Amino acid sequence: MNSKIKRVLVTGATGQIGYNICLAILESEKELIVLGRKNEANFRQEFSLPCKYFQWSNPAKCLPPVQAMDVDAVIHLMGEPLDGNRWTEQKKLEIRSSRINSTKNMVNAIKNSQERIKVFVTASAIGIYGDKGDDTLTESSKTGENFLAKICQEWEQEAMKSTCRNVQLRFGIVLSNDSGALKKMLPIFENGFGGPLSSGTQWMSWVHIDDVVGITMKTLHDHKLTGQINVVSPTPVRNKEFTKLLSSALKVKAILPVPKIALRLALGEMADVVLSSQKVLPEKITANNYTFKFTNLGDAFDSLFNWKESCHDRLFEQQQWTHKPLNEVFDFFSDEQNLEELTPPLLNFKVEGKSTEKIQEGTKIYYKLKIRGIPARWTSLITNWEPMTQFADVQIKGPYSKWYHRHLFRNLAGGVLLEDKVVYRLPFSRYGGNLLNWFIRKDIKTIFSYRRNIIKEWH
Pick from 273, 301, 329: which residue ends a domain?
Answer: 301
Query: pLDDT by residue (tens digit) across 79-93?
Result: 877 765 667 778 788
396 within domain boundaries: yes
- Per-residue model confidence (pLDDT) at position 403: 97
**Where residue 253 sits, what CATH number does that domain have?**
3.40.50.720
- Could you tell me if residue 423 is inside a domain? yes
Stretch 386-405: mean pLDDT = 96
Q: Which domain holds residue 228?
A: 7-301
DSSP reduced 3-state for 274: helix
Domain-located, residue 306: no
Number of structural domains in the chain: 2
pLDDT, average across residues 393-422: 96
* For residues 306-324, average pLDDT: 94
Contact call for residues 34 and 43 (beta carbons, < 8 A): yes
One domain, residues 327 and 272: no
| The pLDDT of residue 188 | 75
Residue 123, strand partner residues: 169
Q: What is the mean pLDDT of residues 110-123?
A: 93
Cα–Cα distance for residue pair 336/411, rounded to 1 Å: 22
Give whichever of 112-116, 123-127, 198-202 has the largest mean pLDDT.
123-127
Residue 13 within a domain: yes
Let me know whether 355 and 334 are in one domain.
yes
Give the pLDDT of residue 365.
Answer: 97
Does residue 103 form part of some domain? yes
Q: Does 293 map to a domain?
A: yes
∠222-224-228 over CA atoms, to 5°? 100
pLDDT above 70: percentage of residues in the chain: 94
- pLDDT of 269 reads 61
Confirm whether 309 is domain-assigned: no
pLDDT digits (tens, 9 = 90+) for 335-374: 999 999 999 999 999 999 999 999 999 999 999 998 888 8
Same domain? For 384 and 408 the reply is: yes
DSSP secondary structure letters along 322-359: ESS-HHHHHHHHT-TTHHHHHS-GGG--EEEEESSSS-
Beta bridge partners of 143: none
pLDDT for res 261: 73
The tally of CA atoms less than 13 A away on the side-chain side of residue 96 is: 14
293 and 158 share one domain: yes
Q: What is the pTM of this model?
A: 0.93
Is residue 435 over pLDDT 70?
A: no
pLDDT of 26-42, one tens digit each?
A: 999 999 999 999 999 99
State yes or no: pLDDT of 155 exceeds 50. Answer: yes
How much is the average pLDDT of 435-441?
Answer: 79
Give residues with Cβ within 8 angstroms of 449, minimum separation 6: none
Residue 411 has pLDDT above 50, yes or no: yes
Examine the domain organization and report whether 250 and 109 are in the same domain: yes
- Residue 10 pLDDT: 98
Give yes or no for residue 255 having a pLDDT over 90: no
Q: Is residue 1 part of a domain?
A: no
DSSP letter for each residue of 89-129: HHHHHHHHIIIIIHHHHHHHHHHTTTT---EEEEEEEGGGG
Report the CATH number that the domain containing residue 420 is assigned in CATH: 3.30.530.20
Q: What is the pLDDT of residue 1?
A: 39
Q: What angle do CA 454, 455, 459 make, to 5 degrees?
A: 105
Return the percentage of the chain with pLDDT > 90, whole number: 75
pLDDT-derived band at 162, boundaries 50, 70, 90:
very high
Q: Give the pLDDT of residue 390.
A: 98
Same domain, 349 and 271: no
Q: How much is the mean pLDDT over the chain?
A: 91
Query: How high is the pLDDT of residue 262?
Result: 66
Q: Are residue 228 and residue 173 in the same domain, yes or no?
A: yes
Residues 356 and 207 in one domain: no
Last-in-domain residue among 245, 280, 301: 301
192 plus 225 within the same structural domain = yes
Q: What is the pLDDT of residues 184-225, one digit of tens each?
A: 777 777 777 777 877 889 999 999 999 999 999 999 999 999
The answer on 233 and 378 residing in a single domain is no
What pLDDT shows up at residue 187? 75
Which of 56-60, 97-101, 209-213, 399-403 is predicted least confidently?
97-101
111 and 12 in one domain? Answer: yes
Using the 3D structure, point to which of 301, 323, 356 is the last residue of a domain: 301
**What is the pLDDT, as a whole number, of residue 43?**
96
One domain for residues 217 and 270: yes
With bands split at pLDDT 50, 70 and 90, how would you rate the model's confidence at 268? low
